[in-house]
Amino acid sequence: MCARRSERRPKSDAAFVAKAGGKFWCDLPRLARERLFALGVRRVTSADLCTVSDPARFFSFRRDGVTGRMATCIWLA
């Protein structure tokens, strides 16, 4: 989920955009990069895709109200 769609956590305010009704959209890839950098990881790549905005590629319960399956690959090189 990308910054245009996710709701707020209390840290890293620069990664959040305020929306109506007290909701916030969050840049989750940015937050992940910040956390990894704080842990010493210096090389992070991302596909910069949004699960909510791309219905042809991703299921989104928030968008459709229907569940599906998705996988993520993470490795250290």
**SS3 call for 17:** strand
The answer as to whether 21 is a domain residue is: yes
Give the count of domains, the chain. Answer: 1
The pLDDT score that the predictor gives to residue 6 is 55
The answer as to whether 42 is a domain residue is: yes
Q: Which candidate, 3, 4, 6, places its Cα nearest to that of 61?
A: 6
CA–CA dist 19, 30 (Å, integer): 19
Domain residues for the domain of 23 are 13-64
Q: Say if residue 9's pLDDT is above 50.
A: no
The answer as to whether 72 is a domain residue is: no
Chain position carrying tokens 């305020």: 18
The answer as to whether 54 is a domain residue is: yes
64 or 2: whose pLDDT is higher? 64
Pull the structure tokens for residue 54: 């791309």
For 16-64, write each residue's pLDDT tens digit. 888 888 888 888 888 888 889 999 999 888 888 887 888 898 888 878 8
User: Which H/E stretch holds residue 28?
Assistant: helix 28-38
